[in-house]
Amino acid sequence: MNSSKLDIQKIVQYRLKKGQFFEENSEKKQIYLHHTAGNGNAEGVARFWNSNDSQIATAFVVGENGTIVQCFSSKHWAWHLGIDSEDFTRMGSKYKNLNKLSVGIEVCNWGMLKEKNGKFYNYVGGVVNPSYVTTLEEPCKGYKHWYRYTDSQIESTRQLVEYLCETYNIPKEYRKEIWSLDKAAFDGEKGIFTHNSVRKDKADIYPCPRMIKMLESL
């Protein structure tokens, strides 16, 4: 695995408009990895967030070509997890605003794919070239076929996660529990998590063997 460090000068700045995120410095204890369930243009994701007032966003988006787009300071926050107090109660944890306590990273990726008559389709019916398909040994959330994370994306994500862990003193340890509901996440423990860690209905990011290998290498 390439051990090069993140060059922060190469991060593309696309600051979201005022009111689309919370300009409030907050302690960061966690990192959450998401994928967009859409195309590979990171700036396009930021433009979409800027087109509404939902205050749903992540600090960073990693494009299919490995470009990292920053939407606001990692010290600030926006809604990106979609959880409420009832979710914490079900996990036997005390409610806390994990959106505020975490840094979110979106990786541009179509996510789960369906196979029909030898062809692969994303969830909006688009045909996917077989070279962009990752097939898991064991299904994740009922799906074996997923859109491929590119090598550039995985490397950029590695550099970014490593940088954030060092900046906020977050442990780099990989835990296999992050691919399903994880009490450590709800308890606000420090660490790297995925959207799966707090949402049973989500499948981002999916457990791609190459992504797991990257996380293990941190």
pLDDT-derived band at 100, boundaries 50, 70, 90: very high
pLDDT-derived band at 39, boundaries 50, 70, 90: confident
**173 near 215, Cβ under 8 Å?**
no
pLDDT-derived band at 197, boundaries 50, 70, 90: very high
Burial status of residue 92 (CB atoms within 10 A of its CB: 0-12, 13-18, 19 or more): exposed
**Mean pLDDT of all residues in 158-187:** 98
pLDDT for position 1: 45
**40 near 14, Cβ under 8 Å?**
no
pLDDT for position 144: 97
**Mean pLDDT of all residues in 197-201:** 97
26 beta partners = none
For the four alpha carbons of 131, 157, 73 and 81, in that order, the dihedral sign comes to positive
- Sheet containing 12-13: which strands, arranged edge to edge? 12-13, 68-70, 60-62, 102-107, 30-35, 191-194
Domains defined along the chain, listed by start: 15-109+149-217 (3.40.80.10)
Q: pTM score > 0.85 for this model? A: yes
Q: What is the mean pLDDT of the chain?
A: 96
Q: What count of Cα atoms within 13 Å lies in the side-chain half-sphere of residue 141?
A: 21
As a whole number of angstroms, the distance between CA 31 and CA 159 comes to: 13
**129 near 31, Cβ under 8 Å?**
no
**Mean pLDDT of all residues in 27-43:** 95
